[in-house]
Amino acid sequence: MAIRQRGTGTPYLRGRIWWIQYFDRGRITRESTGSTVKADAENLLKQRIGDVAAGRSVGRERATIADLCQLVFQDNDLRNLRDAKHVEWRYKAHIEPLLGRVRAARFSTAQVRTYVESRRADGAANGTINRELAIVGRGFKLGAREDPPLVHHQPLIPRLEEDNARQGFLDLDRYERLLEELPKSLKALFVCGYHVGARKNELRLTRWDQVDFESGVIRLSADQTKTKKPRTLPIYGDMGRWLKQQRSTCPEGCAFVFFGAHNRPVDTHLSGWAEACERAGVGWLLFHDLRRSAIRNMKRAGIQDKVAMEISGHRTRSVFDRYNIIDEADVRGAGERLEEYATQRKRERAVRLRRVK
């Protein structure tokens, strides 16, 4: 039987849960890991022994996950991040009920697994769970930077595998069907989204002084775009007609191109969108999916990738490529062009051979 070295502590079972026991300043300290996995207990024990050796307060940190998440909210407000309210909503709706009262000192991979299992049981996708756990992870980082620190360790929060590449896009027939079904308040917004692939909130906040009919462009300001960089969008296809119609029906004193009630931008939830999509047979479609359709159309039109990325507002090539969907028709078209190329080469070879003879 192996003899454990004095001062290394001991993991032990109490029922189905693993606990740890170690000495802190001459006193025996026992702590539940909340996990049924021995490896979790051994990892926590190593962490506690390290804290004792470094002279840090062990097992007595009062900060909870709620306290750490509060640091995230404060940091978001200081940095004026656009999604600050959405981060708070995620916390209130999902993180607080399951983790809010958990002590940061006792948070481990066991709590991560329990959270993942619970959220999956609610039907949450891996991407959604990753976004939520990222809030917790950031809270630990900010807590460690406090003076004095609120936490003395930053737990490993594994990232779940995601498959976020949505494949749907609108061909011209479905575009026309949906345009017919949409309420008047959404038609022009939909047309512009389909043509240039701008994000919903970038278009919603567009004002009339940004639309230059003479030059045929819409100039988005830096504070309006997700990337915080100004962009210029071309006005082409159906856009000009629908923008002019929007102008003719715009209420007096309203500065917004895509207007809703009370001279404000159209509502962010796009009332009537889901119902129109169902009637048009594209119930799966999100407004954000229009970016995919726009990029595909630009590629087919021969627009260079760099220019297409500038119009759509993609910062990285990897993300742009996820939106650049290639369907069966694209492959068939490539096959036809390759067939023409092969046939042409054969003809040229035959001509050369005849000349040689």
Cα dihedral angle (183, 187, 188, 194), rounded to 10 degrees? 150
Best CA proximity match to 233, nearest among 294, 182, 179, 288: 294
| pLDDT at residue 1, rounded to an integer | 43
Other CB atoms closer than 10 Å to residue 120's CB: what's the count?
Answer: 14
| Sheet of 17-24, strands arranged across | 10-14, 17-24, 27-35
For Cα atoms 343, 349, 351, give the angle at the middle one, nearest 5 degrees. Answer: 105
pLDDT in tens, 22-31: 887 777 888 7
pLDDT in tens, 270-325: 999 999 999 999 988 889 889 888 888 887 777 777 777 778 776 665 545 555 54
Other CB atoms closer than 10 Å to residue 135's CB: what's the count?
Answer: 21
Residue 11 · residue 38 · CB < 8 Å:
yes
Residue 108 · residue 119 · CB < 8 Å:
no
Residue 155 · residue 141 · CB < 8 Å:
no
Residue 68 · residue 136 · CB < 8 Å:
yes
Whether the per-residue pLDDT at 176 is higher than 60: the answer is yes
Query: Secondary structure of the chain: what % helix, strand, coil (to 5)?
Result: 55, 10, 35
Report pTM: 0.55
Structure confidence at residue 337 as a pLDDT band (50, 70, 90) = low
pLDDT in tens, 135-164: 999 999 999 898 778 887 788 898 898 765
Higher-scoring residue by pLDDT: 349, 215? 215
For Cα atoms 47, 53, 56, give the angle at the middle one, nearest 5 degrees. Answer: 75
Whether the per-residue pLDDT at 3 is higher than 50: the answer is no
The residue length of the chain stands at: 357
pLDDT in tens, 107-145: 888 889 999 999 999 998 888 999 999 999 999 999 989
Whether the per-residue pLDDT at 205 is higher than 60: the answer is yes
| pLDDT at residue 214, rounded to an integer | 92
Distances (CA, A) of 146 to 75, 138, 139, 143, 357: 12, 13, 11, 5, 87
Calpha distance 41→45 (Å, rounded): 6
| pLDDT at residue 322, rounded to an integer | 53
Phi, psi of 259 (to 5 degrees): -95, 155
